[in-house]
Amino acid sequence: MVALDAVAGTLDVFQFEHAPSEAETILVETRNCPRPDIDDARAADLLVAKLRRLLYSRGFFRMSDLRIDAQPVEEQLHIPYWLGFRGSDGRARVAVIDAVRRRFEGAKVRRLVEAWLSSRQ
């Protein structure tokens, strides 16, 4: 099972062995999360395109009649991130850590978070 970020569709796909069960998730109510900016149809198109590129880049270009089907799930799944701010001279820099894997994230996630923070009113 793979998933795509619904905020902008720009992050790498997330891979799961199976759909997370209720026992594997925690319900959190917060306003501190970006709203999805793409609808289910656009997300499905983006996901299929990303998976096709990924498969072809790994040598699966010889496959004939490749069919990838994307279906939305009912529940939204949010990946938690820790944000760190540092800086001087009036300039703040953001560091983003995946709170599940406990690893620093790269530029794609950082840009997404910075855009979300600068759009807040």
Distance between CA atoms of residues 3 and 68, nearest Å: 13
pLDDT of residue 21: 86
Please indicate, yes or no, whether residues 38 and 91 belong to a single structural domain of this protein: no
Q: Judge residue 89's burial from the number of C-beta atoms within 10 Å of its C-beta, 0-12 exposed, 13-18 middle, 19 or more buried.
A: exposed
User: What's the structural domain count of the chain?
Assistant: 2
Pair (62, 89) in one structural domain = no
More confident residue, 103 or 76: 103
Statement to judge: residues 7 and 18 lie in one domain: yes
Tell me which residue range forms the domain holding 71.
Answer: 1-78
| Cβ pair 70, 48 in contact under 8 A | yes
In this structure, the answer to whether residues 120 and 86 fall within a common structural domain is: yes
Residue 120: its pLDDT value, please? 64
* 44-76 pLDDT per residue, tens: 999 999 988 888 887 766 666 778 888 888 788
97 has pLDDT over 90:
yes
Residues 73 and 86 in one domain: no
Structure token digits, residue 62: 């010889």
**Residues 59 and 12 grouped into a single domain:** yes
Do residues 55 and 47 lie in contact, with contact meaning Cβ atoms separated by under 8 Å? no
Are 86 and 104 within one domain? yes
Residues 19-33 have pLDDT tens digits of 888 898 888 888 888
Evaluate if residue 121 carries a pLDDT over 60: no
